[in-house]
A = this chain, B = another copy of it.
């Protein structure tokens, strides 16, 4: 099946909005095994919309249109589809009832222009919109079918997931299932070598992707039913999840959430003492719901005397240089002691330019644990060419990975 995504909206042509809908649908189509061959964007212009719709219906078997379903004068998609099909528009009573009910429930006044959203080409099948007023539509022409969705990403996604994707899968008689596996602390090339024997498989397929200071493997399988596809994937997933200490979670699990889960299971707590990352690690911990179960807090010791006064680092330790293994270890120990936690993480480094160029982007990360033993420390040289925010993020990623390894031993 050859697909085209057609995005409609002048806001996309002036760079005001990033076209996340196109990327979303591209990923989704890949996930169900449909070949996307064209992505086209045109503005809210009837002639160019008509031409783009006609071209897409001609060359593709599946056309997904986004945008232009709203109530205002520049929402022209439904009319364009009707024109290209040569069909009149007619009011759909069920849509009228839905829209009137939607406004009534919210005690909001209904504008005359809202009734525009009740008109559809006569042959169109309606796509329900669980989160808004604009219905989508499906029409067929020759070998091709076209589905139109609102441009609001939340509405598009809800309608795609609940209606369109299942329809396409049902009609194609096969289901593609896929899982994203997340790894940290190992490079893409090294991980790919280690799983080379799986990368050549055709069902399931395994494909590596570089994430932000982590690596992902996408495992996908196609079968008549979801259960059969899952069964095909099961042994491969088991093998790939056993790659430790690197594999940390699947799909939407973040590294901070995976570490939090380990802390919760152990009934232990964590605290941070950060210099160059300056609170970013503490903040990542609390992006996870219920992180107050194990996150105590932290100290951001940006100035050197804060490291002494608030965290009790001695002159002797600081004499090694503020960016050094002893200082990182002392910060980790101090976080434990001062914030009364089981685990402490210390980070010190040069997020931007350092006194000497070769030290720019150099970061020491240390973890101290409940055993009271010496802290475990790791050095990262991110280099001076990458932005401060990126050095900071990658340092927190390394810190979470280091803590995770200690929690697993």
User: A28 near B15 (CB under 8 angstroms)?
Assistant: yes
Interface of A is mostly: mixed
Contacts of A42 in B (CB 8 A): 37-38
CB-nearest residue of chain B relative to A278?
B286
Known: A39-B13, A297-B303. A310 touches B338 (CB 8 A): yes
User: B20 near A18 (CB under 8 angstroms)?
Assistant: yes
A236–B93 Cα gap in the complex (Å)?
51
A window 267-321: CB within 8 A of B: 272, 274, 276-283, 285-287, 289, 291-292, 295-303, 305-306, 309-310
User: A286 near B298 (CB under 8 angstroms)?
Assistant: no
User: A45 near B39 (CB under 8 angstroms)?
Assistant: no
Known: A339-B310, A351-B286. A303 touches B298 (CB 8 A): no
CB-nearest residue of chain B relative to A27?
B15
User: B12 near A39 (CB under 8 angstroms)?
Assistant: yes
Contacts of A24 in B (CB 8 A): 15
Instruction: Give the size category of A's interface with B.
Output: 35 or more
Known: A27-B14, A40-B38, A41-B39. A272 touches B300 (CB 8 A): yes
CB distance from A195 to the nearest CB of B (A): 18
Known: A27-B14, A283-B278, A392-B283. A306 touches B296 (CB 8 A): yes
User: A388 near B282 (CB under 8 angstroms)?
Assistant: no
Contacts of A353 in B (CB 8 A): 289
Whether A186 is near chain B, meaning CB under 8 Å from some CB there, is no
CB distance from A181 to the nearest CB of B (A): 16
Contacts of A277 in B (CB 8 A): 283
Contacts of A283 in B (CB 8 A): 277-280, 283, 300, 392
CB distance from A401 to the nearest CB of B (A): 19
Question: Which single member of B12, B43, B300 contacts A300 (CB below 8 Å)?
Answer: B300
Instruction: Kindly supply a per-residue 1/0 record for chain A positions 200-225, scoring 1 wherever the CB is within 8 Å of any chain B CB and 0 otherwise.
Output: 00000000010000000000000000
Contacts of A276 in B (CB 8 A): 286
Contacts of A356 in B (CB 8 A): none
User: A48 near B37 (CB under 8 angstroms)?
Assistant: yes
A sample of 25 inter-chain contacts (CB < 8 A) reads A12-B39, A13-B36, A15-B25, A16-B27, A16-B209, A18-B20, A19-B19, A19-B22, A37-B43, A38-B41, A39-B39, A274-B279, A279-B283, A280-B280, A287-B388, A289-B352, A289-B353, A295-B302, A297-B306, A297-B310, A298-B300, A299-B299, A300-B300, A305-B340, A309-B340
Please give the residue numbers on chain A whose beta carbons come within 8 Å of chain B beta carbons, in ascending order: 12-16, 18-20, 22-30, 36-43, 45, 48, 209, 272, 274, 276-283, 285-287, 289, 291-292, 295-303, 305-306, 309-310, 338-340, 351-353, 388-389, 392
